[in-house]
Structure 1
Amino acid sequence: MLFSIDLNLLTEQIKATSLLEWFAVSFGVASVLLARKNNVLLYPAGIIGILCSSFLLVDAKLYAETLLHAYYLVMSIYGWAIWKDNSASGASQISRSTANEQKITWAIAIIGWGFLYFMLTTFTDSDVPIVDAFVSSTAWAGMWLLAKRKLENWIWLNVSNLVAIPLLFHKDLILISFLTIFLFVVAIFGYFDWRKELDQAHGKLKTV
């Protein structure tokens, strides 16, 4: 009986979902599917989804998540540029993070968490500053790695997704929370797809 009531509530919440949230979810799905396929078109799709989601997050008082989306926008433009750059300075091929890149990634996550927590508790009325800041800082780290086409981006993005799912349910952003569950699952496949492609590339190099 309890499940039936919850299911009915969920159905009503989905029916009440705004057109803007549907757009955000649709382009978010397209973006992650394109990322799994290692397709540069993930960036224009992602940019549209980011812009739609940002309005929703401000309304829900998820300010760190909004800042995260601003960062997503910048990194999407940056990633789009270097994915298409076939020079030595670009990121035209999948690779693993170097030791120095791993240190930078951890620094982005830890320093970002502290910075966002301070900003949220000092300047906003956020009621979930610790969790909101953590979701955003780990996603910052993941997006930096994605822009550089590093395999480990999937791990960091899924750490963020795992914590974001209950947070979004808590904020009644039902459709976006289901999108995040979908992103979590796709990111698992994305990791293995990228690792397979990376291993195949290394195999070809060894036979040359």
Structure 2
Amino acid sequence: MEIKIGMDLLVKQIQETSVLEWLAVTFGVTEVLLARKNNVLLYPAGIIGILCSSFLLIVAKLYAETLLHAYYLVMSIYGWAIWKSKSEMGAPKISESTSKDKKITWMIAIGGYAFLYFMLTRFTDSDVPVLDAFVSSTAWAGMWLLAKRKLENWIWLNVSNLVAIPLLFHKQLILLSLLTLFLFIVAIFGYLDWKKELKRQNEAVSHI
């Protein structure tokens, strides 16, 4: 019975999905697929998806989520500039996090969580501030690592996805929950692909 209700809700959501929502989802998926391929075009695709999503969030009066997307927009522009700059200099495309990178990543995750939890509990009517803040703060950390082309970005993004999947389902956003599940699977392969590429780069350097 519950499965039938879930399927009926999914069909209803698909039928009621606007063109702008489809564009947001499409470019979001495109961004992750390009990121898996280590392709700099992930950033323009991501920026389009973010702008589409932000408009929808503003209309829905989800201002906290809009703030999160504003961060994504800044990090996408920043990451695009860094990737282009490093490519021109011939620098390695992928690397592992240094001790400094790890400290900054944890600072972003913990600091972001504290900030978002405070904002959600003080200025919104969110009934899931703990999980909502966790999903967003770990995604912030992952986006920063992605901009730096650090292998560990996939781990942080998937920690965020792992919590987001049941959270979205709990909110009856089944279509978005399934999309996040897809992104979770793609991120696993993205991590494996980047790890292979990192190994290839290291082997190439060792033979010089």
TM-score where L is the length of structure 2:
0.92
Q: CA deviation at 1:55?
A: 3.1
Is 1:101 the counterpart of 2:124? The answer is: no
Which amino acid in structure 1 is aligned with residue 155 of structure 2? I
CA contact (8 A) 1:168 1:174 kept: yes
Question: 1:85-135 CA distances to partner (integer Å, 9 max, x unpaired)?
Answer: 037999751000000110110110011101110111112222221111111
Could you report, residue by residue, the CA deviation over 1:42-73 in whole angstroms, capped at 9, with x for unpaired residues?
00000011111223344556544322211110
Query: C-alpha distance in 2, partners of 1:126/1:61?
Result: 12
Unaligned runs of 5+ in 1: none
Matched residues, number: 208
Q: Which amino acid letter does the alignment assign opposite residue 184 of structure 2?
A: F
CA spacing shift, 1:82–1:60, aligned 2, 3 Å? same
Q: Which amino acid in 2 is paired with 1:173?
A: L
Q: Deviations over 1:152-203 (max 9, x none)?
A: 0000000111111122223333332222111100000000000000001101
Residue in 2 aligned with 1:184? 184
- Residues of 1 paired with 2:116 and 2:91: CA distance? 29
Q: 1:102 to 1:18 in 2, by over 3 A?
A: same
Where structure 2 has 5 or more consecutive residues not aligned to the other structure, the ranges are none
**What is the alpha-carbon distance in structure 1 between the residues aligned to residue 72 and residue 65 of structure 2?**
10
What is the CA distance between 1:207 and its match in structure 2? 1.5
Secondary structure at the counterpart of residue 143 of structure 2: helix
> Secondary structure of 1:85's partner?
helix
Q: Secondary structure at the match of 2:85?
A: coil
Please say if residues 36 and 193 of structure 1, whose CA atoms lie closer than 8 Å, have aligned partners that are also in contact.
yes
Equivalent-residue separation in structure 1 for 2:90 and 2:141 (angstroms) = 19
Q: Look up the match of 1:142.
A: 142
Contact map agreement 1:17 1:175 (CA 8 A) in 2: no
Which residue identity lines up with residue 54 of structure 1 in the other structure?
A: S
Q: 1:63 to 1:161 in 2, by over 3 A?
A: farther
Structure 1 residue 82, shift from structure 2 partner: 0.5
SS in 1 for 2:125: coil
Q: Check whether the contact 1:21–1:176 (CA below 8 A) recurs between aligned residues.
A: no
- RMSD over aligned Cα, in angstroms? 2.0
